[in-house]
Amino acid sequence: MRVACSSRTVRQAVGFACSSAALGGLGVITSALLARALDVDAYTSYTFGRQLLLFSGMFFEFGLFLPAARMLALSGPAERRRVTGAVVAFFVPVSVLFGVTVFALSWIVDACMTVHAGSALRVAALVSMGYPLDFVCLQTAQGLDRLHSYSIASVLSRLGFLGVLMAMPAAGVRLTPSGALLADALFLLAGWVALLAYLRPLFRGLRTTASRMLRDARAYGFSAYVGRVLSMGTYHMDTLMLGAASDPRSFACYMCAASLATPISLPGAGLATALFGRLTRRPRMERRWVATVTVVSAVPAVALSMLAEPLVRLVYSDKFVMAAGLVPVLAAAQVISAVTRLFNSFLSAHGLGSDLRTAAITLTVSNLVLNLLLIPAYSAAGAAWASLLALAVNLIAHVLRYRRAVEAGETTRLDRGGHPGNGSTVPPQRGQGATAR
């Protein structure tokens, strides 16, 4: 049984890592195509609009869907479809609220930012709920141990978007920031709706399942949500500050460098995501998981840093060559992010909301201080260094909280539902390898 479980986890991790790598490649191709087809101001409008949608989407989880992921991981086959049905039922009003929020924000953006993306956001508002739905689908797939389904939906939606971008000029259709953002949102939404339909949600017994989700959200989900919003919200604050204070070219170069660096963390994030189900049943992390994530992230980071300038010229053209100087810093940040993701996944798998919140507050404070100190003075370079230093502080905080939880025995006390609580102990499985403290 253990061999079969390990084999499935390896397949899930490898498949998710491959799809993440494919998504990273598609993202680079897409951004390169848009950067060459649009002028600097138009490209900046699209990238800023998309970043604002991604930033806003993280607020529309409300602590409900991490508990659902744990419920799915610890439930039997019959119960899983009912939990998936509750996930869908909860997200319907959330999606409406998100669309209304985006439409309202579109009128504020142009008044407050040097980058103008309001018209593009208004066009995409009605179908923009695919952005928060991404995280919901990822959590659901983690709990169901169906990351391959999530991976396929992700890749197909991005392929569809890329195909439309390539077909528009051939059909004589002028590419605009509004059209690009609308197509992006449409294909993202279509992919996640198709995935949820494929998972066959069952709405029978919805009241009971929803009550359990709400109870777990109050117990630890909302704490984890607050921590994630504080940490990730301030971490992505750099793009908003650049959009408000810097010139469009600096913002565009920063986004080009980030697009090249982001795929570095994806294989490690894939392993951390695929291990979620196993981590709910493990009192510690194995050292080989940490070593694997570090190596698969560090090697491409070094290679990318060495080839940064020719790659930027090849992919984005000479008008974005300033991005080459930002790539090594952002690549190092992605290595740290990948390792942190593994520790974060462990704490999430054990429902340690207070530890997640503490680590998140640490990242929040470091983000705010570093962004405010470095971005006004050094613009895009300051944003890159602020990201690297803040993520280093975040990793240290996660490791310390992980060690505290292990030493306190909080990762071994699980009740029958898999929740921290009644003092029963789940021993390590026979033959388990060395573990990290």
Which segments of the chain have a pLDDT < 50? 1-4, 414-437
User: What pLDDT sits at residue 232?
Assistant: 65
Structure confidence at residue 349 (pLDDT)? 80
Q: What is the b/e burial string over 194-211, where b = at least 16 CB atoms within 10 angstroms of the residue's CB?
A: ebbeebebbeeebeebbe
Contacts of 399 (CB under 8 A, 6+ apart): 343
* DSSP per-residue letters across 7-60: HHHHHHHHHHHHHHHHHHHHHHHHHHHHHHHS-HHHHHHHHHHHHHHHHHHTTS
pLDDT at 318: 81
Residue found under tokens 């992006």: 184
SS3 of residue 419 by DSSP: coil
Q: Which of 214, 84, 59, 203 is nearest to 150 (CA)?
A: 84
Per-residue model confidence (pLDDT) at position 428: 33
Q: Which residues, 6+ apart, have CB-to-CB distance to 256 below 8 Å?
A: 31, 35, 312, 315, 316, 320, 323
Q: Give the per-residue pLDDT at 11.
A: 66
User: How many angstroms separate the CA atoms of 164 and 34, rounded?
Assistant: 12
**CA distances from residue 365 to 51, 231, 353, 360 in whole angstroms, order as listed:** 21, 8, 18, 9
CB atoms within 10 A of CB 1: 6
pLDDT tens digits for range 399-433: 998 888 888 877 665 443 444 433 222 233 333 33
Q: What's the token pair of residue 231?
A: 């940490």
Cα 54 from Cα 128, distance rounded (Å): 10
H-type helices in 275-317, by residue range? 276-279, 287-306, 308-316
Q: How far, rounded to the nearest angstrom, does the alpha carbon of residue 170 sit from its chain's CA centroid?
A: 33
- Smallest CA-to-CA distance from 330 within 398, 229, 227, 238 is with 238
What integer pLDDT is reported at residue 218 of this predicted model? 79
Of 82, 91, 85, 178, the closest CA to residue 130 belongs to: 91
pLDDT of the residue at 392: 94
Which pLDDT belongs to residue 62? 81
Q: Reduced to 3 states, what is the DSSP secondary structure of residue 425?
A: strand
pLDDT at res. 425:
26
CB proximity list for 365: less than 8 A, separation 6 or greater: none
